[in-house]
A and B are shown apart, each in its own frame.
Chain A
Amino acid sequence: MKTRFCPPTAPSAKGPDRVLQRWMRLAMLTAVMVVPALAHAHSETGTVGGLISGFLHPLTGLDHIAAMVAVGIWGAWLGAPAMWLLPVIFPLVMALGGALGVLGVPLPGVETAIALSGIVLGTMVTFAIRPPLWIAATLVGFFAIFHGYAHGAELPSAANAITYSVGFVTATGLLHLGGIAVGLLIRWPWGRVAVRACGGAIAATGFAFLFGLA
């Protein structure tokens, strides 16, 4: 009796595997798109330079990264509607701060406030503090002004203002989304521990910047 050799069929990519493949493709594509920027082939001038400069500005400051991610994590921890309300409010208030920075309006204690934002938001996440929505929004809005001020004050004079703004608003938004993605891990018990540990790391980063250790 002849038997046909049937090679084992590869498991068809369904459900989570397919989603994971999609995310890996997106991550690789993003990495490829970022590589030319890493070559620093363009100065801060002009359209492209402004876009790159603006996009990299939030990413080159650990204090900025920590606070932006903390906003996303805290939003996810607070749940709806904070989870989407904070990423909507933050860019708007940040732009207000950015406008103040561009116009050169004196604002004291910018770097201190940025460091404090990491401490406060990180502490909120670490201890799973869930204040009323208006308190959370006010707190986030307060710190957003200082973060935006720093971005606006450091806008390169030769850079294209629109593309610089597109770059840093996009980078900030992506950091928020990354924070929300991390925050969604709280649906698992180990995820809650991991998220609170992230909050601790963010708070520690804030302390380091506040006392000049970083």
Chain B
Amino acid sequence: MEGFGAGLIHPLITAHHLLLLLALGMLTGQGHLLKLKVPMLLFVPLSGLALFLTTRIEIPAELQLVILCVALCAALLLAASTPIAGWAFAPAFALAALALGLDSGVRVGAPTSATATTLVAIWISLNVCIVNIAYYTSLCPRHKWVQIGFRVAGSWIAAICAMVLAFALKTQFLN
């Protein structure tokens, strides 16, 4: 799938990417104050760098497991409604940016212009998605039932990630 449009929707139709974006975005938006400046100062360039690297190096398939692990951790914290120190988001965003970017490479042998267009679109989409999820989460009213809804969403995402990790463990290491 190539092209600007395909790149824009890529994070939304890639399930494990979407899980990470949702978990990390909602966790970030749950804070008392939305602090995105430092995390995004890391996310924006690192995601771009990772996407560029996909055209230069071989990307291992196990990267999906890294994405699911980060999503699982974020979702567990979201479900537990644990207060997170502001500085902790920076390394999480950095790791997420690298993992998402490296896992979003286009197929080998694609024309250079098409590749570049797709990668730029993916880069834009990743950044827009995570900022919007965090922003709109922070706008949600601090009503008890809304907070419970986020905790339930976190537990669902964590459950999904745990199941998929177990399946990946079985297929890659036990078979």
Would A161 and B167 count as touching, CB distance under 8 A? yes
Would B166 and A92 count as touching, CB distance under 8 A? no
Residue of B nearest to A105 (CB): B166
State whether the Cβ of A52 lies closer than 8 Å to any Cβ in chain B: no
Residue of B nearest to A157 (CB): B171
A164 CB, min distance to chain B CBs, angstroms? 8
Within 8 A of B (CB), among A76-92: 84, 87-89, 91-92
B154 CB, min distance to chain A CBs, angstroms? 8
**Complex interface: chain B residues within 8 A of A163 (CB):** 15
**Complex interface: chain B residues within 8 A of A92 (CB):** 76, 79, 155, 158-159, 162
**Complex interface: chain B residues within 8 A of A164 (CB):** 163
State whether the Cβ of A170 lies closer than 8 Å to any Cβ in chain B: yes
State whether the Cβ of B63 lies closer than 8 Å to any Cβ in chain A: no
Q: Mark B147-168, 1 if CB is under 8 A from A, else 0.
A: 0100110111011101111111
Sample of 26 A–B contacts (CB below 8 Å)? A87-B155, A88-B151, A88-B154, A91-B156, A92-B155, A95-B162, A98-B162, A98-B163, A98-B166, A99-B165, A99-B166, A102-B163, A102-B166, A102-B167, A103-B166, A104-B174, A152-B163, A152-B166, A161-B163, A162-B19, A162-B164, A165-B159, A165-B160, A165-B163, A166-B15, A173-B152
Bound complex: CA of A103 vs CA of B162, how far in Å? 12
Q: What is the total number of residues of chain B having a CB less than 8 Å from a CB of chain A?
A: 24
Interchain CB contact (< 8 A) of A165 among B76, B79, B164, B169: B164
Q: Determine chain B's interface SS by DSSP, over half rule.
A: helix
Would A102 and B170 count as touching, CB distance under 8 A? yes
Bound complex: CA of A209 vs CA of B154, how far in Å? 33
Would B174 and A173 count as touching, CB distance under 8 A? no
Would B148 and A84 count as touching, CB distance under 8 A? yes
Would A103 and B170 count as touching, CB distance under 8 A? yes
State whether the Cβ of B16 lies closer than 8 Å to any Cβ in chain A: yes
State whether the Cβ of A169 lies closer than 8 Å to any Cβ in chain B: yes
Interface centre among B79, B167, B170 (most CB of A within 10 A): B167
